[in-house]
Structure 1
Amino acid sequence: MRAALWALTLLLVACKVEPRPRPPGVLFVSVEQQSAWVRNFNPLFAGAGSRWPTRAGVYECLEIFTPAKGQWTPWLATGHAWSEDRRTLRFTLRQGVRWSDGEPFTADDVAFTFKLLKQHAALDAGGVWRFVEDVRAEDPLTVAFQFSRVYIPGFAELAQQPIVPRHVWEEVADPVTFTNPRPVATGPFTEVTVFRNQVYELGRNPHYWQPGKPAVSALRFLAFPTNDQANLALVEGEVDWAGNFVPAVDRTFVARDPVHHGRWFPLYGSTVFLYPNTTLPPLDDVRVRKALSMALDRERLVEIAMYGYTRPADATALNDAYAAWRDADAAQGAWVKHDLEAAKRLLDEAGLKEGPDGLRRKADGQPLALDIEVVGGWSDWVRAGQVVARDLRKLGVQAQLRTYEFGAWYARLQKGEFQLAISWSLDGPTPYTFYKWQLSPRTVRPVGEVAASNWHRFGDAEADELLSRFERADSEAEQRALMAAVQRRYSELAPSIPLFPNPSWGESNSRRFTGFPTEQNPYARLSPHAEPDSLLVLTSLTPREP
């Protein structure tokens, strides 16, 4: 089926099929691959599976960090200030902001949002209340966070939290399970005008705080179960903005209409990992994790699975947004280099001897069999999983690729109910957030409990001490020295197996809309997956005149 669909794509490219007419000003977006839409606009619970752009388009945050420019943009807040002892952080809110039902947005809403996270631990995926002691509205436009300890990275975690209206959510019995079918929010698109299994549409916020914005009249989303079907719609001109993996994108998409078709794939996307569930033996053994990593031919992997759009990961696992932070010595770790013989020796040391049939066997005599889980509709990751499985079989591991519909795959990942899984990482303005979710015991959740990340369930006290010192570090020199030490510790422990930095997939069709980010104008990442950058894009696009 995939081959047939892609062949049709190539035919469409050759035939220059013109897009069908559609209502003016309606932006067609391809972000999620789903066979049917579920009406869920809960911005607070990471495991809710909320529809895009719930967290950055329906709801909004206080300030926005843009990796492409390395700077913060004031949003619902116009600024912030630390107290001298770095234990109190105050945000000054923007005047004149209203919720989509016309009620005023105030500091009380911000304080209420964070108190909800405290009352319902499942909502506090980032662990805000591990460093916040109190939050209070000092006046309608000032909210103050009292910290329990000095925690400089806390600013980013507070600044990018979506804010909900108190007058609505205080009536919600269980905000964890609430699907929020009729959102009241401050974002540019709040009105659910259409919602059916195969299509939904969001209209403009009638009270949006930015005058004249958004210029786009509505967002429309069609259900595409797989990348291939989404790519057909993109190539055919049905989609205006996408975050798809497109094979041979320059030939199949850009070349079809070079004036209007654009793509920008900087390596600012999260790193893609093969996550080992470290609660399961023998994946709890660093020698086994490094052996699995050394069995992988990453050069071949990025060429086959990713069409050469990226590069093999180094031993820091950092993407290119953190190039200035990368420690050159840590990056050279041998455990991310393809060396099958060295990998075999490590498994021998770990007691996983090769049997007469060429299979590695555990102490009980059973073959070492590992399932690799990926999303069935994500063709790039499926190919990556196939390459990984083949490489692991050469090591004597019975590796089997298992594909799941996104919701089922994500639930298993979040609950730690897998052996090996291919997935992304969490990132922030510095590598702190990335490594916290790779190494800190504070981010480890029991198997069966939803985790925002650290799906591999790994914690190291030594790395955590370095991260804790980073939390208190004010000077850039001290921060960089500490982060270099964290990188070396990560390389020593290999808690996860980095494959490649994920390109920040972004495609645009400017035939109907202008103002998309580009490499020459990187005001945001082009990828709609890049939240909260998507807020910057949604408020910058302008329909072309008919």
Structure 2
Amino acid sequence: MTLALRSLLLGGASALALGGAALAACPTATVADMKGLSPAFPQQFELAELQEAASCAMAFAENPEIAALNARILGNPELPPVAERLPAEPLVVAPYAAIGTYGGAIKGLSRATESGTSDVLSLRHVNLVRYSDDLKTLVPNVAKAWSWNDDYTQLTFTLRQGHKWSDGAPFTAEDIAFWYNDIITNRAITEKTPDRWTFAGEPATVEALDPVTLRFTFAAPQPNLLNRWAADYGQTFVPKHFLGRFMDKHNPDAAALRAQHGFATEADAVNFYYGNSDWKDVPSPLLKDPAKAQAIGVGVKPTLESHIVVEETSEGRRLVANPYFHMVDTAGNQLPYISEIREDFVPEREVVNLRILNGDVTWKQQAVELNDFPLLKENEAKGNYTAALAPTLGETVYYSFNRNHKDAALREVFSDVRFSQALSLGLDREEIVEIVYLGQGTPAQAIPAEAATVNFVTERHRTQFIEHDVARANALLDEMGLARGSDGVRRRPDGQPLAFRIQFASQGSPVQLHELARGYWADLGIRVDLREVTSDEYRAGANANDVDVFIWKNDGISGPFISQDATMLVPPFGDYFNPGGGFEWAEWKATGGASGTEPPADIKELWDLAEQFLSAPLGSPESDALGARIIDIHADNLLKIGIVSDIPSPYVYSNALGNLQPQTAKTYDFYWTYPYRPQQWFFAN
């Protein structure tokens, strides 16, 4: 590339005489009109790819408010021109319908600082790769390209030349190696490396080969691992230039810097900003200790996302556009179009609905329940919004009785598969469909694989014990020896009345469902107490093994998800946000039998099967055979009682939003809006 052309591409005029020929401005391709262009990946181009295909040269433009927005980012310096802020290799996005206009604020709602927030978080999310909106095609994002060796034990990423963090510092392969080698696997910072970031029980080797080339090497084949970056909230990059300065390895003056800001250890300093988690809704320094953040001079750690947090209180968050964001549209306008995100914390469902009805919400997806849809639909004109329905994945609410219960008598009852079979038969799913789900959905069991995304789920897996058969249910309970007392309530093995509590959060399951279940199970002679709590309270109790029944939506089960993360396949059959039980079994495995409870033989088998499943390409005969055996074990033990699948689910958006298209699916499994490119949304009026 000549110096003259390089200068142009970094922000010169829109045309240049080169070798006697003028290079015109690039065609403003949209998904609706691709101007005859066929990109290598759907709906996006690499800059060089577009310019070569269209014989054009791209000049860049910026949000006219960007300087004012940047001034709100604590610690950010004044901005250089947009061409110097963009990578030399920006990602060029074809908007859905139109080149957008700048400005405005997305108004979103979450329940609390760590509750119901992933919907809004996904609006700004980036990762190394993502899924296109067909939910099948992997496409570049932060990474420009990737390649595997022949046996899937080595994965190499190529990053974008000149990519920068939100504070203008270079983003390089060193930032990914730093995340893995100095934070995730560094016990001084992270006490235990998350299982999801070890492979066949071993850490990966992560090497920055040069500023734009990174290599992962694994102890076992990982053919499906790209799916993690494509659908996962976790980001595998952190700013070494910022966090590394608190660490002795990277800064000879780190101890003095820590002392200056009142950090006792490296972990205290790093986790003040990192949060000891790649889950981004943990309280930021602006909420935890705003005075310290001000003293350090940086509010939150630099980001690669489209927006960065500039304010956070117990009432909500405020974010502004990242002035160094790596995407542009086909006209050369730096994205995002929308200047701000305003996220308010509103825990009450009725207040959420009222805000939507009043037109005070731009986008709302997570925790909008189907039985709210008639109300939302009736008031569309009043609030100038649209309420739509989308297909769902992983929306089958489940009940999983605690087979590792701390109460020995309940443990004995819950561990007998006949109990789960009986209570499943006691549910009238047809009535539940009509009352709770407005006649939508299909009765089904909850298994850890979404049938629409894999080849190995059978009709038996989905439909056993779903009929409403009270006589058969009672016969199973009688067979267990759970005789009824004179009051009609069955007795536990220790003679006490058989009773348990359903503790639930409405974010994870509808209250009407539990009210109906309580009645159905009372008819079987079982006392059920209901208690609604916040999501945080439920998760705290469930992860401490202090609940009788584990309850949530059966998400994290799509093929792309389970093919690279065995969380749903093995005890405790879920993660912190959605635990499914078996904590004593998991402890037994983690400690090599030193503590915890030894599980039955077939449950023990799941760990070996899952490891093999992760090493087989999804959809291959080997993968399907392993998947079938895993699902057989879950189904034979009825580890989770499912209710209804294939439920369409509402989402709501302002009619002012442009470049919005109907969703292929509404699902956490593909991280909500991430496949639908919210960076190219704009306010059309």
TM-score, normalised via structure 2 length: 0.66
How far residue 353 of structure 1 moved from its aligned partner, in angstroms, is 2.1
**2:198·2:204 contact (CA, 8 Å) conserved in 1?**
no
Partner of 2:62: none
Partner of 2:352: 230
Write the letter of the residue equivalent to 2:243: W
Aligned partners of 2:658 and 2:456: how far apart in 1?
34
Aligned with 1:343 (options 461, 467, 473):
473
Aligned partners of 1:337 and 1:277: how far apart in 2?
23
CA pair 235-534 structure 1, distance change in 2 beyond 3 A = farther
Q: Which moved more, 1:282-291 or 1:528-537?
A: 528-537
Partner of 2:142: 76
Q: 1:494-546: per-residue Cα shift (whole Å, max 9, x none)?
A: 11222233757452334221122305xx3xx456896263374421211114x
Partner of 1:396: 525
CA pair 141-264 structure 1, distance change in 2 beyond 3 A = farther
Instruction: Give the 3-state SS of the residue equivalent to 2:220 in structure 1.
Output: coil
CA pair 407-472 structure 1, distance change in 2 beyond 3 A = closer
CA pair 101-405 structure 1, distance change in 2 beyond 3 A = same
- The answer as to 2:673 corresponding to 1:533 is yes
Partner of 1:169: 243
Aligned partners of 2:479 and 2:267: how far apart in 1?
54
Aligned partners of 1:379 and 1:93: how far apart in 2?
37
How far residue 490 of structure 1 moved from its aligned partner, in angstroms, is 1.7
**2:564·2:614 contact (CA, 8 Å) conserved in 1?**
no
Write the letter of the residue equivalent to 1:539: Q
Aligned with 1:496 (options 640, 664, 676):
640
Instruction: Give the 3-state SS of the residue equivalent to 2:371 in structure 1.
Output: coil
- The answer as to 2:417 corresponding to 1:286 is yes
How far residue 435 of structure 1 moved from its aligned partner, in angstroms, is 9.1
Partner of 1:266: 391
Write the letter of the residue equivalent to 1:285: D
Instruction: Give the 3-state SS of the residue equivalent to 2:442 in structure 1.
Output: coil
Partner of 2:612: 469
**2:148·2:156 contact (CA, 8 Å) conserved in 1?**
yes
Partner of 2:224: 153
Instruction: Give the 3-state SS of the residue equivalent to 2:510 in structure 1.
Output: helix
Instruction: Give the 3-state SS of the residue equivalent to 2:238 in structure 1.
Output: coil
Partner of 1:366: 496
Q: Following superposition of structure 1 onto structure 2, how do residues 103-252 of structure 1 map, counting pairs within 5 Å?
A: 103-115=169-181, 116-119=183-186, 120-121=190-191, 124=194, 126-128=196-198, 130-157=201-228, 160=232, 161-162=234-235, 163-170=237-244, 171=246, 173-174=267-268, 175=271, 176=275, 179-181=283-285, 182-192=300-310, 194-211=311-328, 212-243=334-365, 244-247=368-371, 249-250=373-374, 252=376
Aligned partners of 1:199 and 1:499: how far apart in 2?
34
Instruction: Give the 3-state SS of the residue equivalent to 2:415 in structure 1.
Output: coil
Aligned partners of 1:392 and 1:52: how far apart in 2?
34
**1:70·1:429 contact (CA, 8 Å) conserved in 2?**
no
Aligned partners of 1:323 and 1:469: how far apart in 2?
16
**1:81·1:89 contact (CA, 8 Å) conserved in 2?**
yes
**1:29·1:241 contact (CA, 8 Å) conserved in 2?**
yes
TM-score, normalised via structure 1 length: 0.81
CA pair 303-378 structure 1, distance change in 2 beyond 3 A = farther
How far residue 466 of structure 1 moved from its aligned partner, in angstroms, is 3.2
CA pair 237-54 structure 1, distance change in 2 beyond 3 A = closer
Aligned partners of 1:435 and 1:204: how far apart in 2?
32
CA pair 359-369 structure 1, distance change in 2 beyond 3 A = same
Partner of 2:377: 253
**1:428·1:434 contact (CA, 8 Å) conserved in 2?**
no
Q: 1:336-388: per-residue Cα shift (whole Å, max 9, x none)?
A: 3322222222222333222222212111101111111111x559621111112
Write the letter of the residue equivalent to 2:350: D
Write the letter of the residue equivalent to 2:610: L
Q: Following superposition of structure 1 onto structure 2, how do residues 9-48 of structure 1 map, counting pairs within 5 Å?
A: 25-30=104-109, 32-34=110-112, 38=113
Partner of 2:588: none
Aligned partners of 2:205 and 2:454: how far apart in 1?
36
Aligned partners of 2:165 and 2:565: how far apart in 1?
36
**1:135·1:143 contact (CA, 8 Å) conserved in 2?**
yes
Partner of 2:400: 275
- The answer as to 2:163 corresponding to 1:97 is yes
Aligned with 2:656 (options 498, 506, 512):
512
**1:272·1:500 contact (CA, 8 Å) conserved in 2?**
yes
Aligned partners of 2:564 and 2:513: how far apart in 1?
22
Aligned partners of 1:56 and 1:378: how far apart in 2?
17
Partner of 1:16: none
Write the letter of the residue equivalent to 2:313: R
Instruction: Give the 3-state SS of the residue equivalent to 2:144 in structure 1.
Output: strand
CA pair 528-236 structure 1, distance change in 2 beyond 3 A = farther
Q: 1:311-346: per-residue Cα shift (whole Å, max 9, x none)?
A: 32236465464375532343332x233222222222
CA pair 127-453 structure 1, distance change in 2 beyond 3 A = farther
Q: 1:230-264: per-residue Cα shift (whole Å, max 9, x none)?
A: 11111221111102225352563266339951413
Write the letter of the residue equivalent to 1:167: H
How many residues align? The count is 499
**1:456·1:496 contact (CA, 8 Å) conserved in 2?**
no
Aligned partners of 1:263 and 1:456: how far apart in 2?
38
Write the letter of the residue equivalent to 1:516: L
How far residue 420 of structure 1 moved from its aligned partner, in angstroms, is 1.0
How far residue 146 of structure 1 moved from its aligned partner, in angstroms, is 1.3
Aligned partners of 1:143 and 1:132: how far apart in 2?
16
Write the letter of the residue equivalent to 2:284: N
CA pair 452-301 structure 1, distance change in 2 beyond 3 A = closer
- The answer as to 2:378 corresponding to 1:307 is no
Aligned partners of 1:497 and 1:345: how far apart in 2?
18
**1:269·1:503 contact (CA, 8 Å) conserved in 2?**
no
Instruction: Give the 3-state SS of the residue equivalent to 2:207 in structure 1.
Output: strand
CA pair 324-378 structure 1, distance change in 2 beyond 3 A = same
Aligned partners of 2:563 and 2:421: how far apart in 1?
23
Instruction: Give the 3-state SS of the residue equivalent to 1:149 in structure 2.
Output: coil
Aligned with 1:423 (options 530, 537, 552):
552
Among all aligned residue pairs of Structure 1 and Structure 2, give the percentage whose two residues are the same amino acid: 23
Write the letter of the residue equivalent to 1:233: R
CA pair 367-33 structure 1, distance change in 2 beyond 3 A = same
Uncovered stretches (5+) of structure 2, i.e. residues with no partner? 1-101, 247-265, 277-281, 286-299, 329-333, 406-410, 586-598
**2:444·2:463 contact (CA, 8 Å) conserved in 1?**
no
**1:188·1:538 contact (CA, 8 Å) conserved in 2?**
no
Aligned partners of 1:534 and 1:190: how far apart in 2?
16
Uncovered stretches (5+) of structure 1, i.e. residues with no partner? 1-22, 39-47
Aligned partners of 1:49 and 1:169: how far apart in 2?
26
